[in-house]
Amino acid sequence: MSPLIAGDPVIDDQHPVQILVVDPSGGADLVAGATRTVGRYFQIGACNSLAQALDHLRTQLYDAIVLEPNLPDSWPTDSYRRLSEEAEGVPFLILTDVQDLGFLAQASPLPFAVLVKGKAGPAAIRRLLISAALRKRALTPGRDPSAQTGRDR
């Protein structure tokens, strides 16, 4: 089959975009819906809490993390900080229905993008996920998450 993105880095059936969605309120369904038309090029891991997300990150590499920062086991600032420390270099897309994103003023590094639920359509979400994955792969050549069976550092 033809690749979604040809060249270097590539996104195709053998090198799908690896996404971790951390959201207790339906973000995984939103991302799955946004990628449905090109689903074979995306693999989505989903979890509902900071603790589950940290477990995922210890065993799998990801191209992008979609985070709803209001998690049941962590404050928004702590959620973002701890995940960005654990997944250094992985672009974050903040997905929230909360209009007050003041915590991002203190965030370092800054997220790749911020999406407000109900405001971002499937095509915009899909483009941002592809852009984030290409950025990650370009900045970390030879570390394609789709080629990993366990986490290698």
Residue 138 predicted with pLDDT over 80: yes
**35 phi-psi bin (left φ>0, alpha ψ -120 to 50, beta other):** alpha
Residue 130 lies in a domain: yes
Residue 97 lies in a domain: yes
Residue 8 lies in a domain: no
Q: Tell me the DSSP string of 53-100.
A: HHHHHHH---SEEEE-S-BTTB-HHHHHHHHHHHTTT--EEEEES-S-
Residue 153 lies in a domain: no
Decide if 4 contacts 130 (C-beta within 8 A).
Answer: yes
Decide if 3 contacts 11 (C-beta within 8 A).
Answer: yes
Lowest mean pLDDT among 8-12, 64-68, 83-87, 118-122: 8-12
Residue 60 lies in a domain: yes
- List, for residues 35-47, the tens digit of each pLDDT value: 888 878 899 999 9
CATH classification of the domain holding 96: 3.40.50.2300
Residue 102 predicted with pLDDT over 80: no
For the chain, how many structural domains are there in total? 1
Residue 1 predicted with pLDDT over 60: no
User: Which amino acid does the sequence have at 127?
Assistant: R
pLDDT for 52: 97
> What average pLDDT does this structure show over 85-99?
85
Cross-strand partners of 19: 44, 64
* Average of per-residue pLDDT values in the chain: 82
> Who wins on pLDDT, 38 or 152?
38
pTM of the complete model: 0.84
* 3-state class (DSSP) for residue 44: strand
pLDDT for 72: 95
